[in-house]
A and B are shown apart, each in its own frame.
Chain A
Amino acid sequence: MSDVTLYHWEPNANSGKPMLALMEKGVPFNSHYLDLLNFDQHDPEYLKINPLGTIPAMTHGDRVLTESTAIMEYVDEAFDGPKLMPSDPQDQWRIRWWMKFMDQWLAPSFSMIGWSVFVGPSVRQKDPDLLKARIDRIPMPERRVAWRKAIYGLFSDAEMAESQRRVGVGIQMLEDALSKREWLASDHYSLADVNGFNLAYALPLSQPHLSNDDLTPNILRWLRAIYARPATKACWAMGKTDMVKRVAILEQEYIA
């Protein structure tokens, strides 16, 4: 029995970040799966762990941690195993810069598209009264708005276009960075790569006209190199939905 418990959904986005970091470090943990599409993250039981009602959260002994990127830094510092932060302070700065850029600028745009094409349609057919009750119990007002938009298909054309624009810009930035270095933010495999893979693992499927072996060879090289790592394979094997099974696209040698 480990004294670490991770409350997570699929190996994807914020949930996948601490999952993969723990597995890279070889830290055993109790997996507590919360089904985001069943609104488990807003259950009163879970709100005792994270009152904001978002995933992931981690407990280590009697310590409770939230915020996926900060959890990853904790995991890297608190446990033995391979270092996921290089020792050079300027590298550390660059890694933090890219994680913030992804967390606060790029990922929300991917997320809006994902919620519009996947999350919304996946829950929309549930009983309307149940959906209303589920939305009403969401703790954060901005998340109530987000869920309402996803469920009732209320994203405006302008906000979707802006998200798509940012995805295009972000892909180009990733390609540029990866044409200069082997890994995203330093010459070492780091938390920035763990973070980035969670964002981009299905890129050649979700944005085929923007990312493939011809247009973004360095992104594809990078994604395949991360997918080849045993920890990544083991982590994505924990996924239950078709969404994360899309990672298998990376087994193709050439994606046009």
Chain B
Amino acid sequence: MSMTLYHGEPNGPSLTVLAALFEKGLDAQLVKIDLAGGARHDLAVAHQAEVGMSIEGEGPVLVVNGEGMTDSVFIACYLDDQGTGPVLRPSEPYARWEMMTWCRQIIERCAPAAAFLGTKAHLATALAALPTETFLAVTAKMQSVDLAQRWSDIRTGTFPDDQQADSETKIAQAVDKVEAQLDGRNWLMGDFSIADLETYAWLAAMVDLVPSAFAGKPQTSAWLARVAVRPSVAKALSMAASGDPRNCWAPGPEINRWG
């Protein structure tokens, strides 16, 4: 079976999926696309609901049997079942519940915060410089009205103070959880897993953007360094085309609008 992975720079969800692919020793055609330029919406599979309405925002798309698959944690689960490398999920049901719940919290609380802070620091200026017609031609292709709105908020520099504060809090809470979880362990779930990939992928760039969250967190700092040199992650990071991939951001998931 042939797979094609359309991915962006190795940061956020693209990093999770690239590294998962390498962990499993799988062969896929890798196609780098400009996620921050809206290129995902030009893919042949862009009209499929699972692509156009993915709440991850501008993440990678794995095409298998003509179907576009999105949402990095679930793509990684899929890859885990395909390849030959070490398992990326515990097999015991309760340990698996722990991993899925962990990832859910990262997806729901940490990722939107990281995307808010990352796009504010690293995408807003570039989007603001685009001619209006160019920008509108990009958002016009989007199936998701609320994703298009996030693009537009980034372009206009609409980053409300309360969301800024909330995002910094969510990053600090995520780091607190990582620090507590690592207590004497190398990896978050004991063995290396998708939880390490997804958590690293969203948090790595926050070290520069919310430094206070990482102050006095020795276990987290050591873990970040450990993940970065893991061969699969190092290989993914080495694919960066434009300097430090931690400075590459595309619009991500939305901040919870309800509880």
* Interface residues in chain A, defined as those with a beta carbon under 8 Å from any beta carbon in chain B: 60, 63, 65-67, 69-71, 73-74, 77-78, 89-90, 92-94, 96-97, 100-101, 104-105, 108-109, 111-112, 140, 142-143, 145-146, 159, 162, 165-166, 169, 173, 176-177
Contacts and interface: CB of A to CB of B under 8 A. Distances in A.
Given A60-B94, A73-B96, A101-B53, 15 more contacts: A63-B94, A73-B97, A73-B100, A89-B78, A90-B64, A90-B69, A90-B78, A93-B69, A100-B71, A100-B74, A108-B259, A112-B257, A166-B146, A173-B53, A176-B49
B160 to A, nearest CB: 14
Given A89-B81, A89-B82, A96 B74 contact: yes
Contact of A90 (B67, B104, B256): B67
B132 interface: no
Interface in B45-102: 49-50, 53-55, 64-65, 67, 69-71, 74-75, 77-78, 81-82, 93-94, 96-97, 100-101
Contacts of B146: 162, 166
B252 to A, nearest CB: 13
Contacts of B145: 165, 169
Interface in B93-134: 93-94, 96-97, 100-101, 104, 107-108
Contacts of A109: 258
Contacts of B258: 108-109, 111-112, 146
Nearest to B67: A90
For the residues of A in contact with B, the DSSP-based class is helix
Closest 8 CB pairs of A and B: A108-B258, A89-B81, A77-B93, A78-B93, A74-B97, A96-B74, A93-B78, A70-B100
B78 A142 contact: no
Contacts of A90: 64-65, 67, 69, 78
B93 A93 contact: no
A111 B96 CA distance: 28
Interface of B: 49-50, 53-55, 64-65, 67, 69-71, 74-75, 77-78, 81-82, 93-94, 96-97, 100-101, 104, 107-108, 145-146, 256-259
A142 B78 CA distance: 33
A200 to B, nearest CB: 16
Contacts of A173: 49, 53
Contacts of B64: 90
A96 B96 CA distance: 14
A219 to B, nearest CB: 15
Given A70-B104, A73-B100, A89-B78, A94 B259 contact: no
Given A93-B77, A101-B53, A173-B49, A142 B256 contact: yes
Contacts of B70: 97
B37 to A, nearest CB: 24
Contacts of B82: 89
Contacts of B104: 67, 69-70
Contacts of A142: 256, 259
A71 B97 contact: yes
A77 B70 CA distance: 24
A92 B259 contact: no
Contacts of B49: 173, 176-177
Contact of A97 (B74, B94, B257): B74
Max chain A CB contacts within 10 Å: which of B55, B74, B107, B258?
B258
Contacts of B81: 89, 92
Contacts of B53: 101, 105, 173
Nearest to A65: B97
A111 B259 CA distance: 10
Contacts of A89: 77-78, 81-82
Contacts of B94: 60, 63, 65, 74, 78
Contacts of A143: 259
A162 B97 CA distance: 33
B174 to A, nearest CB: 15
B96 A77 contact: yes
Contacts of A65: 94, 97, 101
- Among B49, B53, B108, B259: residue with most chain A CB under 10 A: B259
Most-contacted residue by chain B among A67, A69, A142, A177 (CB, 10 A): A67
Given A93-B77, A97-B70, A104-B108, A146 B259 contact: yes
Nearest to A142: B259
Given A100-B55, A112-B258, A140-B259, A70 B97 contact: yes
